[in-house]
Structure 1
Amino acid sequence: MTIQTGVQTVPAPTIASQDPPAVNLLIAGRLRDYADLLTQQGEDGFRARAFRRAADVITALDRPVEEILSQDGREGLTALPAVGTGIASAIAEMVTTGRWSQMDRLRGDLAPEVLFRTIPGIGAKLADRLAKDGQLESLEELEHAVRFGKVAVRGIGPRRRRMIAAAIAERLGRPFFVTETTVARPPVAMLLQVDRMYRDRAAAGQLRKIAPKRFNPTGDAWLPILHARHGDWHFTALFSNTQLAHQLNKTADWVVIYYHKEGQPDGRCTVVTATRRPLLGQRVVRGREPEDEEEISNETRNWK
């Protein structure tokens, strides 16, 4: 038997001759919910279709996805039809933590401090500092930060870093001993195009708004959300809803852009208005200012 993925016909995994495992139905249901949410928020349908295809494959399995992850790691998930690296990461997070940060983000429910407390060695106070001081949101960001020393947070020494990194690697279903690799990032000019599109459409009232739970005691739906695609890159943009953004009154200036390209880890960046020369008053991608100087004048082109 074969399954049609929409790109090519590939051999199917073992198809259930009995009721599918309950965990598979739960995961498949959440993948479909995510696809519906993307559609409701104006995504062009490309990613929504990908998540629905993956949900169909997961539903058809007679082997629990948690067993696949436990025995075969992340590679066992990506070997399934229609399950790429991004969806495999989502499944691993749901299986091991019961949460899915991408879904929480789109719903306005993102609470990384709650997610971090699921890792052995991270208590409530440290989880709170990681989310606020470290500006971290996902297990993969936390893993990269503690493994390669990219975050300075009080209370994490070398031994504790290794312990936390090992626990996260086990949760995510991949080996602990890996090296830091250069991850592909969208060009600065492209990110600035997304930033401009987001702010223009938000100002025109053309975007759906969500009601974030964090720092929003009145429950107002104030946060516009944009989904956009350019070539192989997929973007989600929102105004920053961090504690620091609220403290500095930058929630209408800082734009957080999440990006995804198949075969690459998901990433994010923040676009801000520069407060120092030579880019004073210009929109820049934080941490990539030298590239901004070179590319900041590029024109918008070829958007889908």
Structure 2
Amino acid sequence: MPAINLLVAGRLRDYADVLMQQGEGGFRAKAFRRAADVVATLDRPVDQILSQEGREGLIALPAVGTGIANAIAEMVGTGRWSQLDRLRGELAPEVLFRSIPGIGAKLAGRLAAEGQIESLEELEHAVRFGKLHVKGLGPRRMRMIAAAIVERFGGPTLPRRIIAARPSVSQLLQVDRIYRERTAAGQLRKIAPKRFNPAGDAWLPILHARHGDWHFTAMFSNSQLAHRLHKTSDWVVIYYHKDGEPEGRCTVVTVSSGPWLGQRIVRGRETAEDEEEISK
């Protein structure tokens, strides 16, 4: 068996184990274990599939959808997997970004701090769709970085014309409410993030939940900005995905001024279309 396949399969199983340890119901864990079994028994190295067929070649494998294909591509391209690092409290976006040509230490730090970007998948989307505004990152450099990520990942994470599905505002606010209630009741497992945690305390509660076709992971923000503004017990970051689709992320916050003062809102979803859901 190719060594890279055994490495990737091992990390997929590690992810399934961490999900179970943190209280996930088992559905996602089983999916990752099935994918691990497929990868472990392939006679072709996954990096060869990625280089010759792109991510579509990985997606075509049994039990491997878009989300797991993106994870495999990240492991092959960087040697790390941000989703697993996140659940272990080891997420360090700055280190991940420095694996991409054209991104040095200073820019990597600004991407994590100013851009609030956590993964290469998010970085690729941001530079492709013009949603990234960080000092020192002009159009030419963004094009170079986007091209480097696509080459490393074996193609774009999503075709340009496809918009990733996302849950409704009411679903996200429900996850936020459940997370904060269970945190207050001391019912959630806590992890000890390595970033901004010199004492190594296990302070960060984590929730895994499933509602219909959606899978959610929620935790308080451990970003540099959240610490600076003392919002680590207010801002709730929710990761979400449907089977076969890439992961999305949003942040739920308490409004500090204006007509929704004191209410919880999904940042970036305060449009007229979403107002009715937010105000419920």
Matched ranges for 1:99-118 at <5 A? 99-118=80-99
User: Where do 5+ consecutive residues of structure 1 fail to align?
Assistant: 1-19, 299-304
In structure 2, the CA distance between the partners of 1:177 and 1:92, relative to structure 1 (3 Å rule), is closer
Distance 2:94 2:259 in 1: 37
Give 1:176 shift: 9.7
1:4-41, Cα deviation, whole Å (9 max, x unpaired): xxxxxxxxxxxxxxxx1111111101100100000000
Distance in 2 (CA, whole Å) between partners of 1:256 and 1:196 is 12
Q: Does the residue aligned with 2:44 lie in a helix, a strand or coil?
A: coil
Q: Secondary structure of the residue that 1:130 maps to in structure 2?
A: helix
Q: CA deviation at 1:275?
A: 1.5
Distance 1:60 1:273 in 2: 48
Amino acid aligned to 2:46: V
User: Where in structure 2 are the equivalents of 1:228-247 lying within 5 Å?
Assistant: 228-247=209-228
Tell me whether 256-265 or 192-201 shows the greater mean CA deviation.
256-265
One of 243, 252, 257 as aligned partner of 1:276: 257
1:29 aligned residue (4, 7, 10): 10
One-letter amino acid of the counterpart of residue 294, structure 1: E
- Kept after mapping to 2: 8 A contact 1:189/1:292: no
Picking from 116, 120, 127, the partner of 2:108 is 127
Which of 267, 287, 293 does residue 275 from structure 2 map onto?
Answer: 293
Q: 1:206 aligns with which of 184, 187, 192?
A: 187
Where does 1:124-203 land on structure 2 (aligned, <5 Å)?
124-174=105-155, 178-203=159-184
Q: Which has the larger radius of gyration?
A: 1
Q: Distance in 2 between matches of 1:81 and 1:270?
A: 33
1:16 match: none
Identity %: 78
Q: What's the counterpart of residue 80 of structure 1?
A: 61
Specify the SS of the correspondent of 2:176: helix
The Cα of 1:297 is off from its aligned counterpart by: 5.1
Q: Say which SS state the counterpart of residue 215 (structure 2) adopts.
A: strand
Cα shift at 1:264: 2.5
Q: Distance in 2 between matches of 1:109 and 1:175?
A: 26
- Structure 2 spans left out of the alignment, 5+ residues: none
Task: Output the CA distance in 1 between the equivalents of 2:136 and 2:188.
Answer: 40
Distance 1:177 1:195 in 2: 27
Q: CA deviation at 1:277?
A: 2.3
Query: How many residues in Structure 1 have an aligned counterpart in Structure 2?
Result: 279
The answer on whether the counterparts of 2:65 and 2:245 sit within 8 Å (CA) in structure 1 is no
In the TM superposition, what is the alpha-carbon distance from 1:182 to its structure 2 partner? 2.0
- d(CA) in 2 for partners of 1:30, 1:216: 25
**How well do the aligned residues superpose, as a CA RMSD in angstroms?**
1.4
Q: TM-score, normalised by structure 2?
A: 0.97
1:296 positional shift: 3.0
TM-score, scaled relative to structure 1: 0.89
